[in-house]
Chain A
Amino acid sequence: MSLDPAALAFERVVRFEGRHAVLDGVRGVVPAGAVTGLLGPNGSGKSTLLRVLGGLVRPQSGVVALDGQDVYRLPPRSLARLRALMEQQSRPEVAIRVRDVVMLGRVPHQRGGAPSVRDRAVVESALRQVGLDRWGDRWWSTLSGGERQRVHLARAFAQEPALLLLDEPTNHLDVGQQVQLMRFLSTSGVTTLVATHDIQLAALFCDHVLVLSRGEVVASGPPRHTLDEELLRRVFGVSCLVHQHPTTGRPVLTVLPWGPPDDARPVAGRRSASEGAAGPTMSGRAPARPNQRTAERTG
């Protein structure tokens, strides 16, 4: 892997489900200590990639290295001490309190028996981190969607992971909570990969984005070098304007109500595997079509 420091690096990852290649030669890096956004339309393979990177699902081929260690060679417990995965959650079937949910994050650190003093301390500090320090005794069933999301985040923090993998963590959250959560992630210092549909939120808070389309990484890099009109047209099939905000320096998206020109719709044909494996350039730009005016690239 060329980029350093890379907490997580993956190469040539291929994952078939049935006869369909959900991931077709994906490669990329997630830089250490930063928040990386994983973007892409529905069905582009975001959730599968998160599971593959988290070691929950084995790809048919490819390498995933977490801090230089092969994810699939690590015992599940050791892996669970290195990375936490927060998925779209199902609800528990039994009455359970907030503190017990967060304590589940200590499972990979425990050898049975009662929770240690340290386990308890970590759980309380995780609750404090997400602003739920007085909520330990609340029943899960009394929480709102946003509160549940924060409890799951606290559970992920209680794992004390080096890497956080989050699948749509801002679902069910209002805009204030979304900003709060993303700001919290970007200041936590934990290497984070967050799959999201919210391109604007990613543009505002991510240090780095990976754009996935039809099982391939088609662009990666800092948002302002990566998220441009041509890419969004090609990947999501939308016409939009991208500006750089004068104050934040971040890209601002204005989605236009009309569709893209016909030649800019997502390519319907099947890509060949060998071309896919060549992958994106690390400068973060997929090759632009020669006949198209590319978005202005600043900075």
Chain B
Amino acid sequence: MADEIATADPSTTPTETLDKLVVRFAGDSGDGMQLAGNRFTDASALFGNDLATLPDFPAEIRAPAGTLPGVSSFQVQIADYDILTAGDQPDCLVAMNPAALMTNLKDLRQGGTLIVNTDAFDERNLAKAGYESDPLDDDSLKGYRVIKVPMDDLTKEAVKDTGVKGRNVLRSKNLFALGLMAWLFNRPTEPTVDWIEKKFGKKEEVAAANIAAFQAGYNFGITTEATKNTFEVKPAALKPGTYTNVNGNTALAWGLIAASRKSGLPLFYGTYPITPASDILHELSHHKNFGVRTFQAEDEIAAVGATIGAAFAGNLAVTGSSGPGIALKSEGISLAFMLELPMIVINVQRGGPSTGLPTKPEQSDLLFSLYGRHGESPLPVLAIPTPSEAFLMAIEAARIAVKYMTPVILLSDNSVANASEPWLLPDLDSISEIDTEYAKHPNGPDGTFLPYMRNIDTFARPWAIPGTAGLEHRVGGLEKDALSGDVSYDPINHQLMTDTRAWKVANIANDIPQLEVDGEEDAEILVLGWGSTFGAIRAAARRVRLDGHKVACVQLRHLNPLPNNLGDILRGYEKILIPELNTGQLLKVIRAEFLIDATGLNKVAAEPFKVSEVSDKILEMIK
């Protein structure tokens, strides 16, 4: 069937070439918009475009059908050059029902293309979306190029001979919409057909129906000449090499497996399901042939507990969650800090506090990560800037954890975890091994073992795992003697141990990359970011430079300890802007650490920064 589509002749419709394109699929959360968006993305990735995605879905699995809170959308930007974000404004919007139109139309570029499923525009759905009159019949869509398609009817017709029945018939309408989009934007069809066959191969009639609907959507474009012209975006001139399309959660899971291989330590992932971190568990649970043990605990506290046990037993031990779950793990993380065991704590941040906005991006757990524990318990904190970089950041977190015998907090967020981008696959051999050595021999006088006698360079204590003869020892949450690890209530020893633990973590600053400034070092303004704001900040800087201005950018990946040269960099600029998806958390840290009066650009509006928001602020500050 792939051939049938590929050989259909769209040549009667002229093609306009674009350098970039932003499309958004929007529909009810049961309409399969995430699937349609992902397929459009993968076809574009395999075609060679650069791209970035922004999925946006409600926390409810199936919010009441047709309502505004039930709308799910998927935005992707594709381009023939390297892009950094999923785009500020869609050029094309697919609206599967009135609610999707109501919530998404405001974002569509003036003059943009709007594809609507007219079959969903009945009185009931219009009322649920809050329309008093049908927008398809009045002037409200003036200014857009509207393609009206009765998708329900056409899908029913397309799948009638495939054997699917009842409610399953209309399940294929997302594939109809995708087919039409494939025609309109000259996307290759084979990857989608191949994917359907692979995914639904065992349910023949479902595969047949999906392919038929996809094909019908594509052919609908050809035969009705739905638009004056179609569009194409040529492949991007990306760096040579082999690419795959990956999202942050997947890249993170693969990075943990890579860290396990590079360290020779078996991977243990103890966790409790929570949005948006669960996909890390799903991915890891497939890879048991890599020696990966996943442990779905009874609660968040047990998840961190089992992870501590696994670390004590000699594993590369990782726990993952999101804000509320990390709060529950807090006591356990402090124990791991006190025991000085290597461990990674992943926090895929979401809108908070409490249950907050579970499916929306936010960076509001920075201060919690830095300070959210009882007692004096500083931990290394890292943040992932882009989906694909999650791979290397996972390895970096493991390196620090094992080398310094400490838990490490690794921050991701909803816009990294679920967003995808092309990833230039690394040369795996060029990634450094993680030196791992369990203690093998007594290190004290007369053949005794001193579990807190430290490495002279790293101040790490030895990792003596159960099963090693002669190194039997006890650890615990009570303060320990600085050498023997025996319980000690000695005040001077407590001061020494507190200082030593803090110094050990602070010293990691000497073992992380120095920051590099992107852009004009003699600029008046520096934009300082951390984590997932990377794309919006860099794209904004480009835009400002196109206007003839100078701007410098730095993105922090290490938030504790901060890189050694950060202070010097900050002092080199007259103005410093810190954009964050919170109310100013890094801003507080920078002011506290460096006594520098930086300016915040802060937003907690359930979405990442638009490039224009950052570029407008930069321009405002330099004018």
Please say whether chains A and B are actual partners in one complex: no
